[in-house]
């Protein structure tokens, strides 16, 4: 059922209502006006400049981790063709290097990346949840 274009959503704003002290203690942390200041989660939900800064900091930290992993990956894999060109008579060595010497560092790198990315997300959740 399409909405009539004449019907549009209207945001109603007003001064925060006063609450009783006992109600304020119960709602502390859930309602942005109950504790007297906005929480980061509210800032993110309302897409304010501060909320944008929080999300951007998470994205930057994740990008830093990804670039670090990419750099190590390039340093690990890029010299391999030069190494293989220096030893053209050893066909078995190429398979040994590719099969046994490259994969363990790749697995360790992948594990480090996952742990670091999850730590970044955990830190972000702690920041947003005010723990």
Residue 25 tokens read as 């203690």
Question: pTM (2 decimals)?
Answer: 0.60
Residues 47-56: pLDDT tens digits? 677 777 778 8
pLDDT in the model for residue 110? 95
> 77: Cβ–Cβ under 8 A, 6 or more apart, which residues?
102
Those residues with Cβ within 8 angstroms of residue 10's Cβ, 6 or more apart along the chain or in another chain: none
**32 touches 38 (CB < 8 A):** yes
pLDDT digits (tens, 9 = 90+) for 59-105: 899 999 999 999 999 999 999 888 888 887 777 788 888 888 889 99
Max Cα-Cα span within the chain? 84
Short-list 97, 100, 102, 71, CA closest to 84: 97
Residue ranges of domains in the chain: 38-129
Distance CA 123, CA 68 (A): 19
What is the overall mean pLDDT for the chain?
76
Give 87's Cβ-side CA count (13 Å radius): 11
């Amino acid at each position: 059922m399409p909405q009539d274009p004449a019907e549009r959503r209207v945001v109603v704003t007003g001064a925060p209502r006063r609450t009783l002290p006992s109600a304020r203690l119960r709602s502390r942390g859930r309602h942005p006006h109950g504790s007297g200041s906005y929480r980061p989660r509210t800032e993110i939900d309302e897409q304010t400049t501060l909320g944008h800064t929080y999300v951007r900091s998470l994205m930057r930290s994740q990008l830093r981790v990804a670039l670090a992993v990419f750099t190590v990956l390039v340093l690990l894999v890029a010299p391999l063709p030069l190494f293989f060109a220096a030893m053209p008579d050893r066909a078995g060595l190429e398979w040994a290097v590719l099969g046994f010497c490259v994969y363990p560092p790749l697995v360790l790198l992948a594990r480090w990346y996952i742990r670091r990315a999850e730590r970044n997300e955990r830190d972000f959740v702690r920041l947003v949840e005010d723990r």
